[in-house]
Structure formats: C-alpha cells, structure tokens
Structure 1
Amino acid sequence: MRDPGGTQEVVKDDAAAEMPQEDADDDRRFASTLRNVVGEKRHKAWFEGRVGFDLSSNDTLVVIAGSTLECDCLRKHFKAELKQACRAAGLGSRSIEFVVDAAVAPTPARQDRPAEPDEPAVKAAPAPKAPPKPSEAPGFLVSDSNREAAKLAELIAAGSPAPSPVVLWGRGGTGKTHLLRAIADGFRSRHRRKRVVRLTAEEFTSGFVEAVHGRTLASFRGRCRGVDLLLIDDIHFLLGKQKTLEELQYTLDTLAAQGADVVLTSDRSPAELRKMSGELLSRLGAGVAVEIAPPDHSLKSRLVERFAQQSGVRLEPAAVRMIASGLIGGAWEIRGVVNKLGLSSRLLDLDICEKAVGRAIDDMNRVSTPSVGVKQIQDAVCSVFGVETGVIKSKRRTKSATEPRMLAMWLSRKYTQSAWSEIGDQFGNRSHSTVISACRRMDELLGSEASVHVAGRPCGLQEAVRLVETALRTA
C-alpha cells in the first residue's frame, strides 16, 4: 500500500516480503506500454534484459543501465519515448533519471509471467542500500571549488534548517545537476513520508503551459506547491517567460509560507538574472546563493581519471596532468577529450601519446571557448588585476607587472592560434623564447597551486585564471 506521502510500505511475513500489488501493476503496465511505444524490435535490442526501471517515486522514472555509454544512448534516443510511455501507462508526467549500476546486473521492468516450477512465487525483498552522501554521489567529486555547495547540499538532504531558496550557480560542467540529484536522493532516503519534486526549468515551463491550456492548473500547482522540497534545475531558462516567472514567484511564496525548502540552479548568479522581475529577485535574495566554481587543477585531474576508468581508457599520469592543465572548461569538455582519445585508440589503433593528447585538447578548446584575441585577453587580465594595459607591455619586472603579464601570455597561447612570436610582439616586442618561458613557468605554478596578487590582495593562481576566463565570457 502507499501512504499519503507516496512512500511504499512493504508488509513482511516470516518467509518473505510481498510487493504491493499496485506497484506490480504499475511495473507491468509500464513495461507493456513501453514495448508498444518503441516497437518490438527496438525494445528487444535496447531494453529487454538490459535495462531496469524504478517507479517507486511518484514523479520520477529511474532508468538503470549497465554503463555510462548505454545511459548516454538511452538519454539521447529514448528520453521522449520514455516520458510518453509513462503518460500512456497512466503514471503521469515524470522526469527521467539515468543511473549507471555496473556492480549489480540491472533487471528489466517486471513482466507478467508465471513463476518457474522450482521458483518461489514470492521473493524476499532485498535490504535497501544506504544512499551516498552528496559528497560521495556518483559523478560528483568535492574540491575547494565546490566544497561549500557540497556541504550545504548535505545539510539540506539531512533536513537541517537552511535559508530558502538556495541558488547553486556556476557555468556548465561544474556539477550542479549532479548535486541537485544527490540532494533529492538523500532527502528521500531520510524522510520517506515527505514529498520531493525535482524537475528542470524547461519541465516546469512546459508543465505550466500544458496546465493552462488543459485547464489542469490546480493539479500542476498541487504537484509543485504541495511538497516539502522543490528542486528546479537551470532557472536561467525562464528568462523572458514572464507568465512562468510569475508562477514561480507565487510557488516560492507558497512554499515559504509552508516552511518547505527550495533549491534552484543557474548558470549565472542571481544578480545577473536581470530580466527576472524585481519581486522574484527579492525572493531569491531572501535565501542564499552559493557559487560552484569551475573545477580547479586537482578536481580536473580526478575527473580525467574517473572518466578514463569509466570508459576503459588507459592514460598515463603525464597525460592526466596535461589534460587537467591545458583544457579549458569543465566536466563535459573533460569527458569529450577522454572519449575522443579512447575512440582513436580503439578504432584507429593509435597510441595515446603526448601529441595525440595535445591535439585533442586543442580541438576541444577551439570548440568550447569563445573566439577572442590577444587584445581582449590583455584587457580582461588588466581589469581583474587592476592595472593599466601599458603595464604588462612595459619592461617593468616588478610582481605587479610580471604576474599579469605571464598570465596574459599563457592565456593568449591557450585561447588563440597566434604564434609565439606574434604573442611576443603584442607584449612590448618580446622574443618568442620569452613567451615560451612565461608559459612554461605558468604551467609549473598552476601545478603547485601558487598564489598571485590580484588588485593588491593575495589570490590563488587558479582562482585568478577563473576570474579572467569569466571576464572573457561576459565581455
């Protein structure tokens, strides 16, 4: 049976535990509906005996696959059809989560089949696994760049008092969605009688629009406002959608009055969400905003190692360091480089050498970063360090001149296709050997977590790089 909060109550006897009948019916109905939606041939190729489903949550369908590659393929090709199958099976509009479980072979959705002669009709329910803490969630690693957000997420998952709403913000690839999932999973496991809804801003928008046109607004509001924890991913998607923003504002007001918690994510800080109404911005300001910074060198190295292990790609320590120090971007870009190296190694039978790694890094940097010139980099560096452009072009050898000068040369080499000599010409006609020496020195300092002086105050070199890259993106 189900309690009002949507959790399952399993009744056990001395021999075994029975599955609630309505859950078994839901599973069978969904399995049959999915087969009809995707077709018998595609179902057999992609789902039968290969993929498991968890329908225990009232608002989420969890799809369990044996590898990251299978999850990525299912997400790309079948997400819309999985949602369609949920609606057609009478399970409502659900968000779709994809989970990798290589340790335990996934089982498909329960089929309506008789028990084998020597198979007991009822099997004992397995003991539930303790969910990981947010800092231990699969795909989410903690470092100085995201430690504050991870600690706050752990408090919310435990049900401890926290300012609401919480806005976790940072650019793509910093782990915002992973952290949001960890909060939802941790909260559900600790508070099984409380309601949790996690959805994207796009799902919030489409659900609201469908409710308005289908005259089911009361049902939509009941789903989003009758909860103990609401999590919405990528609220920057709502910019310019005034009616949806109004609905979000009223939802936040209702949940605040009920004492419910709200966690939102965005790719920019609340102060940069200027197109939102002043009233909604004031609601966000009543809570707390925590930045998840781009991964630092240490975290990038660990991400490279994790993705390489998941993909079965063997990388030497030197290659890991090279990717971590040379790649611009976050987890998505790192995964892309590892996948490209693995593909070249398997299909083309090429060794993963230093040249191959460098080529993969350069290709990814060209695709994932804005097109900037040396002049723009100089302006961004000088703006962050609080010096005039003439200072880094001068012959001065004080720290206030050499530190921003080396960083600007290093970024010029990473962001542009300029030759060593061309970069030197734009820094006071310096020789190409001077630029090479500056870039090598920067690589050494980044590996040692050195600090520099930014606007007269000590600052970690990696943090200074992040500040300049942010300035370049927003210029």
Structure 2
Amino acid sequence: MDNTAESVWSNCLAFIKDNIQPQAYKTWFEPIQAVKLSGNALSIQVPSKFFYEWLEEHYVKILKVSLTKELGEDAKLVYVIKMENTYGNKQPFTEKIPSANRTAVKSQDVDVPFNNKSPELKNPFVIPGIRNVKIESQLNPSYTFENFLEGDSNRLARNAGIAVANKPGGTSFNPLLIFGGVGLGKTHLAHAIGVDIKDKYPEKTVLYISAEKFTQQYIDSVKKNNRNDFIHFYQIIDVLIIDDVQFLSGKTGTQDVFFHIFNHLHQNGKQVVLTSDKAPVDMQDIEQRLLSRFKWGLSAELQTPDFETRVSILKNKLYRDGVEMPEDIIEYVAKHIKTNVRELEGAIISLIAQSSFNRKEITINLAKDIVEKFVKNTKREVSIDYIQKVVSDYFQMDVSTLQSKTRKRHIVQARQLAMFFAKKYTKASLASIGSQIGQRDHATVLHACKTVDNLSSTDKQFRKYVEDLAKKLSL
C-alpha cells in the first residue's frame, strides 16, 4: 500500500473520532493538517504552540495508539507549529518539536509523557477545572430555576432566562443582559441558565466566568504572547456567561478583545449571557460599540422583591432545608430586610443557627435580635458623594472647594484623599471617580492614590489624616 501523509492521518482521525467526544474532536483535531510522511515519522501542522501543548497533555495516548496502528511500533510524530510574526507577515515558519521533551532531537516516540513542562507552558487561560477532553463549565449546580422564585420583581428576567435555556442562540434574547443591585440574584439566574442548558444540551460547551477573571486571563495572555490563543479559546464556546460585566469599565484592551469574541460568537449563533449591576445606559467607561451590542438582545432588570416575594423566598429556603418556622417570624424577617435577597437568606440562616447552637426556641424576640445585628453588621458601600462630604467636613471646607481647580496644598491633599477613599470603598472606575471629583481624568486619580500611599509612609501627620478618615468612613 502506498501510504501518504494525508491517508495515514485520515486513518488516524477516523480512529480518534470514534474514541473521543464530538466537541473535543471538532476543537482539537479538525484544525490539524498532515504535512509529510518520512519513513515512519508523520509530520502534522498545528495552529499554535498552545495547541501542541494541549495535544501532548491530553491526547498523547490516543495519538500513539492511532499512529502505531498505521505505522507500526516505531512510529514517530513531529509537530509543525504555524506561527504568525508580529509584523503582519502571514508567511508561516515551522519549528520541529519533539513530542516528549525539549532536547535537541528531531522527534521521539509519542508514548513518552510530557511531564516536565514549566508552569508558563500550561494552559494560558488558567481556567480552573479544564481537564481531560472537556471544558468544565464552572457552573454551580445548586443554582437552578426551581429555587429561583418568580415574583413581579424578576418575572421578565427569569422567563427570558428560561427561553434562552430552551433555545440557546436561537432567540432574540442574544445577548441576554441581566442587571440589578447587589444580592438580587443575578449570579443565581446566570448559573441557572447555564445549568439548564447543560441538562438539555450536554454536547454544548458552556462556560461561566466573572469579568474580573476574564480580564486577568487576558492580561496573562498578553504577557505570555498568547493573545490569539486566548481569543481562539473563547471563540469555541457555545454559551458564554460573563458575570459582573461592569468590571470591564475603563479596561480598553479587555473591552477590545471581548468585542471581537462577542462578534464571533453572535455571528455564529452562539449564546452570550451577561450580568451587571447597572443598565447599559448607566455604564461608564465602556466603549460605545460594546454598549450598542449589549443592547442588541434583551436587558432585563432584577428589582427589589416585594413583601410577598420575600416571604415566598424565605418559605422556599426553609422548605429546602427541612426547617419549620412560625408564620409571624417569617413575616417579621421579610418585613425588616427589604433590599437584598442574599441578606434575607443570611438572616434566616443566622436565626436557625442561633436557635440550634443555643438551644433556644425561635421567638419574635430572638428574630428581632438577629435582624437588628444582621442589618447593623451588613457592610454598605459608601458613595463617592458621601466620601467627598466626609473629607470636606474633616478639613472644614465646602465640597465645591474640594472640587475646585485651586492648587493650594491643603485642598489638593483633601482632594487626593477623597480620590484614594473612593477607589478603596467603591467599585467605580478611576475615570468615573475623577469625573465626579472635580472633572479630573483617570491619570489624576491614579497619581492621587500613589501620593496618598507615599505620604502615609513618610508623613506622620498625613498618616493620621488617613487613619481618622478611614474610621469615619467605616462606621
């Protein structure tokens, strides 16, 4: 038989296809091209260095078996890595990589495991749980539609989520942007959509990730010169769920790469689900082209639940935990914790714990004590306006003076302190802080934060300012 590189590789692929999942085959084997056959050594071209490393880590055994069937026990595999240089010249150059280690040999048997990789050669996306042939979804299976109770405050968002889960990428709700305040169930609903999709469509690749982690992965990929691999990885996802997308605010590089990933997914009928603490119209320091895409689908708000919904949430929580509680106590907790579902459930858990640990009967008085402590100890996020007022009062000046253009030293320092605490105590971007404290830019805020850090370590009086203000703001 007259073997060619193409025929040998085609037979290998047929064997591999029968032995791994379809999604894994499509992702990791369809892009490979047979280059040449020299004796018992087959050369295959892979799209990137990361691709080669992934094959070595996850598919070395099946490659060995398939190649041995075709070329015998002495079969060898040579990888040819297609590279793009940074000057835009698309002509590839090739590099022979031994399949077991980095010694100066042309190739080695594929059955020698590649165990000596340095940490920087591992998956550049650092997504915990990626192993074997599947991408782990990072979903929490306890977050389901069943335990996300419907009420007037969340009906639109919940029903849109169910529609998306029934037909991912096939509804007009793409992207689906779920927005609302802290503790109202955005993350729960996002996970519930993903969990339901995985149940209905197990072959689909679903990935949940926070915008913060996405940003860190992007930064790492740039440092390691793996940006194209980073983009390629996200473009193979069928359902991408990004939590707290407002975290991309002010991060132009991450916004740019997300823009390209979003376009690719959307054009290919993939589903994108986003959560945010703000509606698109209220997002600051997000590029207009990205905001316009957020508005392509549906923006659904989660509002503060009404009293009846809060009672239902508590009853459902107690039922799931197998705990009984008098109706008047449930209603008391629901009446006094109004703005946050997370706090609501936290209070009921604390009430059950106190009763169990101290062997006390659950009474209205015990409920009052728990709710009072819980509300008092719940950390609130102070506003930039409040920070400016506290700092201005401390230095005995008006807020308008603090925001003014004057370069008088004591006013400049007050302004810098306000910027420092705004960065410390709020989630606002540097640009947003600057615009609210005297129409400054993000570079001014960054400089202010560095100045406060430096002066705190060298100037005793200034350090006292910082300590005093920190106490006032943390009350």
C-alpha deviation, 1:291, in angstroms = 0.3
The residue aligned with 2:346 is: 336
C-alpha deviation, 1:245, in angstroms = 1.5
C-alpha deviation, 1:153, in angstroms = 1.0
C-alpha deviation, 1:215, in angstroms = 2.6
Matched, 1:170 2:180: yes
The residue aligned with 2:333 is: 323
Amino acid at match of 1:351: E
The residue aligned with 2:155 is: 147
Equivalent residues in 2 for 1:31-180 (5 A)? 86=129, 94=136, 96-99=138-141, 137-159=145-167, 160-180=170-190
Change in 2 beyond 3 A, CA 1:361/1:302? same
What TM-score do you get using the length of structure 1 for normalisation? 0.51
C-alpha deviation, 1:220, in angstroms = 1.9
| Residue from 302, 305, 308 that aligns with 2:318 | 308
C-alpha contact 1:6 1:195 (8 A) present in aligned 2: no
The residue aligned with 1:111 is: none
Q: Per-residue CA shift, 1:229-272, capped at 9, x if unaligned?
A: 22111112222222112211222222222232211001111111
| Residue from 23, 28, 31 that aligns with 1:5 | 23
Change in 2 beyond 3 A, CA 1:371/1:303? same
Change in 2 beyond 3 A, CA 1:171/1:188? same
Matched, 1:189 2:199: yes
The residue aligned with 1:297 is: 307
C-alpha deviation, 1:357, in angstroms = 0.9
State how far apart, in whole Å, the 2-side matches of 1:371 and 1:291 are.
Answer: 21
The residue aligned with 1:265 is: 275
Gaps of 5+ in 1: 9-24, 27-82, 101-133, 377-475
C-alpha deviation, 1:140, in angstroms = 1.1
What TM-score do you get using the length of structure 2 for normalisation? 0.51
| Residue from 230, 248, 252 that aligns with 2:240 | 230
Q: Rg bigger for which structure?
A: 2
C-alpha contact 1:202 1:237 (8 A) present in aligned 2: yes
Change in 2 beyond 3 A, CA 1:288/1:313? same
Percent of residue pairs bearing the same amino acid type: 24
The residue aligned with 1:351 is: 361
Amino acid at match of 1:171: G
SS at the partner of 1:5?
helix
State how far apart, in whole Å, the 2-side matches of 1:322 and 1:359 are.
Answer: 12
Amino acid at match of 2:21: D
State how far apart, in whole Å, the 2-side matches of 1:86 and 1:169 are.
Answer: 28
Amino acid at match of 1:241: K
C-alpha deviation, 1:4, in angstroms = 3.1
Amino acid at match of 1:301: V
Amino acid at match of 2:345: R
C-alpha contact 2:190 2:241 (8 A) present in aligned 1: yes
The count of residues paired between Structure 1 and Structure 2 equals 266
State how far apart, in whole Å, the 2-side matches of 1:209 and 1:7 are.
Answer: 29
Root mean square deviation of aligned Cα: 3.1
C-alpha contact 1:205 1:244 (8 A) present in aligned 2: yes
SS at the partner of 2:300?
strand
Change in 2 beyond 3 A, CA 1:169/1:301? same
C-alpha deviation, 1:313, in angstroms = 4.2
C-alpha contact 1:200 1:234 (8 A) present in aligned 2: yes
C-alpha contact 1:197 1:224 (8 A) present in aligned 2: no
